[in-house]
A and B are shown apart, each in its own frame.
Chain A
Amino acid sequence: MTSETTSKSPEAAAVPPPGASREKKRVPQGHRRLLTRRDRVTLAFMAGVPTVLHVALVWVTALASIALAFTTWDGIGFDSIKWVGLDNFRQLFTDNPQFWPAVEHNVIWFVVLILIPTPMGLFLAVQLDKRIRFSRVYQTAFFLPVVVSLAVTGFVWQLVYNPDTGLINSLIGANKPGHYIDWIGNPDLNLWAVLVAASWRHTGYMMILYLAGLKGVDPSLREASALDGANEWQTFKNVIFPTLRPTNTVVLVVTIIEALRAFDLVFVFNKGAQGTELLSILITNNIIGESSRIGYGSAIAVVLLVISLAVIIPYLIATFRKERRA
């Protein structure tokens, strides 16, 4: 037998943070004693390899975004990195004609998603939860847009919106000179046009999340409510909806993240031309566009990072705290 009896806890081998080797009372003693050195190496490897990969490619780069945001760099050699303090941010907030519209569009994106497709998804979920016939057929139809890639979604909706050949203009006769409606090019229209496509997709996503939430609602609640003489709407409002609270939190977070991540659809639709600028598009244009401004692009990324973390961190802390209690 190679079982060791040293009291050194195995996590010290995995990731060596200060204080990690302190004893923890909750660990069953037998567990640790039976771990061989090889087991510890295995564990270190099992936790270490994925962590290193994830931290290196996601968190180190996120931190690098923050660092680069305070510099200018042409990308050729490290010598050319120059510290410029808050210059990039100053320029971004005061001089960039695209920045504030982009922020506004990201906000509009979120507001539209939470006000229209989210309640719509909830409504559909409530209807489909009624042990109705063909429920799966309907679900499949509503959920289909979530499965198809956003790039394909962009092309499909281009066929609907194309000013010359699209479905809408052909139907209403707006494809002739004189009554032209340019859904894709007109900066007053294109954001709303693309938001219709985004909502089309978001509804199905929300429907699935709410359906899962509704499955978890105790059926006796519904019966009790019915016996009390509550009608369908009253039951939903006073009994069902309050129990959906955890789902609502998830839905809110998912919707905010979706609004911040919005990219593919717009990029395919019109490359983020005037009217559809988004933070994600501005960052990308600073990399693959003609003028690669690394520091400046990173400053926009920092804005996006700060907003994202402001949502992600409290949500995850609340989630994990609840889990630990459970």
Chain B
Amino acid sequence: MSTALMVKKRTPVRPARILLHVFLAGTALAWLAPLLWAIFAALRPYAETSNKGYVSWPDKLTFDNFTNAYQQSDMLHYFGNTLIIAVPAVLLTLLLASMVAFYVSRFDFRLNIFLLLVFTAGNLLPQQVIITPLYRLYLLIDLPGITMSGKLYDSALGLVLIHMAFQSGFCAFVLSNYMRMLPHELTEAALVDGASVWRQYWQIVLPLCKPAMAALATLLSIWIYNDFFWAIVLISTGENMPITSALNNLSGQYFTDPNLVAAGALLTAIPTLIVYFLLQRQFVSGLTLGANKG
């Protein structure tokens, strides 16, 4: 009976489906339009667009703007800055968050909920709430010989620390939920065998959290790569800025040439796009795993 129903239903649905596809394809195209427009502008020589206007048929499409933007602003250097900040920040955030999550989820202590509340709430705060004292704090902490600036301010270390402190809240929340789903017998057996707490964490629980860790690593990499605010305030030397924040200064350099700005902006988006296309599933699952992220 149910198959008969299905067949009956499927026939009239067809035109609606086509309509739906038309709608979705149209909307998707509209959604991509601003990015496509930026690509189009970036591919055209400035002389041509200033002559013919931007809405015109292109005579020449080249990658010159991309190579110029890349070379003129020494973009490789800024990508390097980002790498120095993002790699340790992602790894250390995951390490710290998984340790807290392990503690909170495996040992049913009184403080669990409170600790988790503190971490999660902290992560949801707007960054600007804490920036004034944080800025002062970073200026006050002297680290002669450890950072280039001799302070926490204007250093990669400072950015790594604030990323860790801020993002560990979200990751701890997600990971503790994940670890709670693992059967308790796993660690109890190890405990009876005399395995230390650290071994339970490092050799038993952590390997089982690989899917969640992979999702979070993807998410964190993109967030930290995309961070704009911390570096704008906590880094003063333009040379030390990570790429996303450096873009703000760089755009000033080639201000009069919007095509070059477009090319520069698109170049900085490429790493995130690569990560996204390769690891889309990880990214999305990370985002929905702990959907209470601001």
Interface, chain A (partner B; CB < 8 A):
1, 3, 9-11, 14-15, 17, 20, 22, 24, 26-28, 30-31, 34-36, 38-39, 42-43, 46-47, 49-51, 53-62, 64-65, 68, 75, 124, 127-128, 130, 132-134, 137-138, 140-145, 147-152, 155-160, 162, 165-167, 170-171, 197, 200, 203-204, 208-209, 211-212, 247, 250, 253-254, 257-258, 260-261, 263-264, 267-268, 279-280, 283-284, 286-288, 294, 297-298, 301, 304-305, 308-309, 312-313, 315-317, 319-320, 323-324
Contacts and interface: CB of A to CB of B under 8 A. Distances in A.
B7 to A, nearest CB: 14
Interface in B162-218: 162, 164-166, 168-169, 172, 177, 188, 191-192, 194, 196-198, 201
Q: Is the interface of A mostly helix, strand, loop or mixed?
A: helix
B288 A212 contact: yes
A42 B130 contact: no
A148 B165 CA distance: 23
Interface residues of B, number: 108
Interface of B: 17, 20-21, 23-25, 27-29, 31-32, 34-35, 37-38, 41, 49, 53-55, 96-97, 99-100, 102-104, 107-111, 113, 115-137, 139, 161-162, 164-166, 168-169, 172, 177, 188, 191-192, 194, 196-198, 201, 222, 225-229, 232-233, 244-245, 247-248, 251, 258, 261-262, 264-266, 268-269, 272-273, 276-277, 280, 283-284, 287-288, 291-294
Contact of B265 (A57, A152, A162): A152
Given A58-B165, A64-B133, A155-B262, A137 B28 contact: yes
Nearest to A261: B126
Contacts of A212: 284, 288, 291
Contact of B132 (A14, A46, A145, A294): A294
Given A36-B196, A53-B168, A127-B24, A46 B100 contact: yes
Contacts of A151: 226, 228, 244-245, 247-248, 265, 268
A156 B38 contact: yes
Contact of B103 (A27, A35, A46, A54): A46
B261 A155 contact: yes
A288 B232 contact: yes
Nearest to A212: B288
Contacts of A323: 177
A257 B113 contact: no
21 contacts: A31-B188, A38-B196, A39-B198, A42-B197, A43-B103, A47-B104, A54-B169, A75-B139, A144-B276, A145-B35, A152-B247, A152-B268, A152-B269, A155-B247, A156-B262, A159-B262, A171-B55, A211-B288, A261-B127, A316-B121, A320-B117
